[in-house]
Amino acid sequence: MTVPIAGPDPNPEKVDARAPLGACDCHAHLFGPADRFPYAERRGYTPPDAPLSAFLRHLDALGLDRGVVVQGNAHGYDNRVILDAVERVPGRLRGVCITDESVAPEELRIWHRLGVRGLRFHFFHPDHRPGYRRGVGLDVFRHFEPTMRDLGWHVQVWCDHRILPEMAPTLAEIGRTIPVVLDHLGEARAADGVEHPSFQALLRLVGDGQCWAKVSGAYRASRLFPDYPDTEPLHAALVRANPDRLVWGSDWPHPQVDAAAMPNDGRLLNLLLRWTPDPAIRRKILVENPARLYGFPLPPG
């Protein structure tokens, strides 16, 4: 029996400043509609439907021109919801899938033509392995590695922050030939601070250009709802380390977040703008870096 979860805040705050042309939300999920895209058995949660039409409204409300939809665990390894979205909105969306070895590497070439640009992998701490079906690991990456390299795809990584220091050499090695993108500030805990070994490992990977990071999930790093001030030093440290290796995502519709702590998407974008006052760096994070990573045309400006 899976646990029903809350949906996103339907009333995003007004964004304080217009995002630059070509701005991209680089991390969001689609769920359902369940009568067309059923949820997976052995899933850990049951979301309310968050279909493509709702995500496009989310982008419009925030003034964002582009989006990246990432396979959510409620759909398991059935990526039809992602493939459908990128095929239907080809100029505006890119996709990241999760799959096991039941898919032939050559299938990725078909996905590429539709608009997929990466695969996602999960690295768990031994003390925190989920009791439900969630993600695939390094062995599956090695299966797809040659094809991903040929296609120019990236490796998106969810990694428990406690094992990031020991995973760092492997991620750096992969990153020499295939872009590696770490989710949600490397799953850092804001209360641990910038000097924590896990976050220092992330800073070195990003600072040396070996990996990318998503400056997303401030609400996952912090318990200080709704503005997460203890996350700002993490953001600032990554910007100082290497703004050319950063992208931003809302994580809409925020799966497995309690309704009482549900972030507001307009507020999340306002935090990014407030924490990144330099317009040139904002453009890197929101426009130029996503264009390079996901293969969008770079708009003028």
Q: Which residue type, as a one-letter code, is found at position 183?
A: D
* Maximum C-alpha span of the chain: 51
Q: Which residue type, as a one-letter code, is found at position 12?
A: P
The Cα angle at residue 261 between residues 231 and 160, in degrees rounded to 5: 50
Query: How far is it, in rounded angstroms, from Cα 207 to Cα 204?
Result: 5
* Alpha-helix runs per DSSP H in 13-137: 52-62, 80-88, 107-114
Catalytic residue among 192, 251, 258, 278: 251
Nearest residue to 233 (alpha-carbon basis) of 261, 199, 267, 279: 199
Q: 150: Cβ–Cβ under 8 A, 6 or more apart, which residues?
A: none
Is 251 in the active site? yes
Catalytic positions, written as ranges: 251
